[in-house]
């Protein structure tokens, strides 16, 4: 199986999840960029907030999964 076939199979299997990941990433970066454009914050805080998006991503989907299990 070639690399292209492997990638095609991976995208086919995870299409919805990859789309949700992309939407979350775009929303997070947009929100952080808008907030830091309005504030005069240091550059290191901007990068730290962008990196906090990883924690926010896992926290959001972990809590969403927990809420769905309670229903």
Burial 39-71 (b: 16+ CB within 10 A, else e): eeeeeeebeebeeebeeeeeeeeeeeeeeeeee
Which pLDDT belongs to residue 52? 95
Of residues 68 and 44, more confidence is placed in: 44
Range of the domain at 16: 3-69
Over residues 51-64, mean pLDDT: 90
List pLDDT tens digits, range 2-52: 888 888 888 788 788 888 888 999 999 999 999 999 998 899 999 999 999
Which pLDDT belongs to residue 54? 93
Hey, which bits of 1-71 come out as E strands? none
Dist CA 62 CA 14 (whole Å) = 18
DSSP-derived secondary structure letter, 41: -
Phi, psi of 12 (to 5 degrees): -65, -40
Which pLDDT belongs to residue 68? 83
User: What's the number of domains the chain is made of?
Assistant: 1
């Amino acid at each position: 199986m070639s690399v292209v076939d492997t990638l095609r199979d991976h995208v086919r299997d995870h299409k919805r999840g990859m789309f949700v990941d992309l939407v979350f990433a775009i929303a997070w970066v947009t929100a952080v960029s808008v907030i830091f454009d309005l504030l005069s914050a240091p550059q290191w805080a901007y990068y730290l907030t962008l990196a906090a998006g990883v924690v926010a991503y896992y926290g959001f989907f972990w809590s969403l999964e927990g809420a769905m299990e309670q229903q």
